[in-house]
Amino acid sequence: MTVPLTIEQAAERAGVEPAYLLRLRELGIVPGAGDAFSDGDVRRALTARSLEGAGIPLDVLGDAIRRGALNLNFLDSEAYERFAGLCDETFQQVSDRTDVPVELLMAIRESIGMAQPLPDDRMREDELEVVPFLELQMASGFRTPAIERLLRVTGDATRRISEQEAAWWRSEVIEPAMAAGKGADEIADPEFSDKISPLAEHAIVSLYHAQQAREWTANIIGGFEQLMAKEGIHSRLERPPAICFLDITGYTRLTQEMGDEAAAELAATVARLVQRNSVQHGGKPIKWLGDGVMFYFDHPGPGVRAALQMAEAIPAAGLPPVHVGMSSGPVLFQEGDYFGQTVNLSARIADYARPGEVLVTRSVVEASDEPDIGFREIGPVDLKGVAGSTELLLAHQT
């Protein structure tokens, strides 16, 4: 059973004065009477303060709730426990206690997408839960820039998930309920919310674990590749396979701007084009990666031909231009995916290529004997995440 909060405790967690809570109770925004408050009441205060900051007067909000036009009772649901209150420590105090730099602690709030706090601002309860993770990394000698980079990327990724989740809830729950003329207390079924929230969290964590397994596998394989190279153990393949990355400039943004039906048709068009062109030349699409596709080709030469044809066919179908990177060399296969330095290098080359370009490594050129395909030297270039310079060539029809 949840222990009731005093007015002082509730006000501190909501970051408001006790008098503010009393006013919310007088207006009917926070139900009940006396000095006992619940976690749901803290969330009501946080929501009321947000609505007030958005320009909605508290008396107007209270009137709408009393008339039944609005309802905040859903905030009592366990699903909304993630609406965190403020803790009793500031960023600076937590920094002094843990030896985590205060700038790194403040980056937690920034990574969520909120405004940069001040050292003397109080931390939120959910932010405080991130601190032990940072503290262990600092104690283990991890570099601060690396810690902050992971923190910001994690914040950005979870923000994108949350945005899509909110859009999904809006389109599948809120808008249909509003169109059906349901009242404020009928829009969301609290029982359904309590059921689906833990299932959604479990699904997200499971997908995250699957992604972790893949990336950890890549690290393991990469480590073995480096050890084998150090010991002089190299692949003896006469004609190694090729990995190709094809990115469509702005594809994700384009599909987001289109309606669902048009986006689905566009995706089907791209799928047909890449499937047909790759298979015709002894290749296969391995997976979709945001704005592009990863391919595996048994032989580099036909792979280059397929890449050039796709680079021509995709814009001809009304899509943005593509940029392609291809490398040839040993690759390791596990559970439907390919790993190794050849894969990583191809992805970096695709990032470097300009729209409309098909860039390849010297190893691809040496293994290619396709007629009517030429290569123009770009020169040695420095690719992000790749040690040393990489010699690249531009593939073209002759």
- Which 8-state DSSP code applies to residue 73? G
> pLDDT tens digits, residue range 174-214?
888 888 887 656 666 777 877 888 898 888 888 888 777 76
Please report, for residues 275, 298, 320, the alpha-carbon distance to residue 284 in angstroms, rounded to integers and kept in the order given: 7, 9, 22
Domain range for 55 is: 7-82
Q: What percent of the chain is modeled with pLDDT above 70? A: 89
Give the helix/strand (H/E) hosting 145: helix 144-169
Claim to verify: residue 202 and residue 249 sit in the same structural domain = no
- State residue 330 phi and psi, 5-degree precision: -60, 140
Task: Kindly state the average pLDDT of the residues 222-239.
Answer: 60
Tell me how far apart the alpha carbons of residues 229 and 342 are, in angstroms, rounded to a whole number: 14
The winner for highest mean pLDDT among 6-20, 219-233, 328-342 is 6-20
**What integer pLDDT is reported at residue 82 of this predicted model?**
65
Looking at per-residue confidence, does 166 or 239 come out higher? Answer: 166
C-beta of residue 13 within 8 angstroms of C-beta of residue 42? yes
**Residue 147: closest CA among 133, 162, 161, 128:** 133
Claim to verify: residue 286 and residue 347 sit in the same structural domain = yes
Q: Is the pTM of this model over 0.85?
A: no
**Residue 106: closest CA among 119, 96, 124:** 119
**What integer pLDDT is reported at residue 221 of this predicted model?**
65
Claim to verify: residue 196 and residue 292 sit in the same structural domain = no
> pLDDT tens digits, residue range 283-296?
989 888 767 889 99
**What integer pLDDT is reported at residue 227 of this predicted model?**
67
Q: Which of 25, 57, 82 is the last residue of a domain?
A: 82
**What integer pLDDT is reported at residue 236 of this predicted model?**
47
119: three-class secondary structure by DSSP: coil
Name all contacts of 308-312 with Cβ < 8 Å and 24+ positions apart. 308/358, 308/373, 308/395, 308/396, 308/397, 309/277, 310/246, 310/273, 310/274, 310/277, 310/278, 311/246, 311/356, 311/357, 311/358
Claim to verify: residue 131 and residue 37 sit in the same structural domain = no
6 CB-near residues (< 8 Å, 6+ apart): 35, 36, 37
- The chain-wide mean pLDDT, for the chain, equals 85
- Count CB atoms within 10 A of the CB of residue 299: 19
- Count CB atoms within 10 A of the CB of residue 120: 10
Calculate helix-pair angle for 300-316, 260-280, nearest 10 degrees. 150
Q: Which of 204, 234, 264 is the last residue of a domain?
A: 234
Q: Which of 188, 217, 249 is the last residue of a domain?
A: 188
The full DSSP string for 157-170 is: HHHHHHHHHHHHHI
Claim to verify: residue 255 and residue 376 sit in the same structural domain = yes
Distance from CA of residue 22 to its chain's centroid?
Answer: 41
C-beta of residue 102 within 8 angstroms of C-beta of residue 119? yes
- Assigned token pair, 112: 């969520």
Claim to verify: residue 323 and residue 275 sit in the same structural domain = yes
Claim to verify: residue 304 and residue 384 sit in the same structural domain = yes
Residue 1 inside a domain? The answer is no
Claim to verify: residue 251 and residue 229 sit in the same structural domain = no
> pLDDT tens digits, residue range 37-49?
988 888 888 888 8
**What integer pLDDT is reported at residue 237 of this predicted model?**
46
Task: Kindly state the average pLDDT of the residues 303-332.
Answer: 90
Claim to verify: residue 17 and residue 41 sit in the same structural domain = yes
What's the CA dihedral at 274, 277, 281, 282 to 10 degrees?
Answer: 40
Claim to verify: residue 170 and residue 221 sit in the same structural domain = no
| Structural domain count of the chain | 4
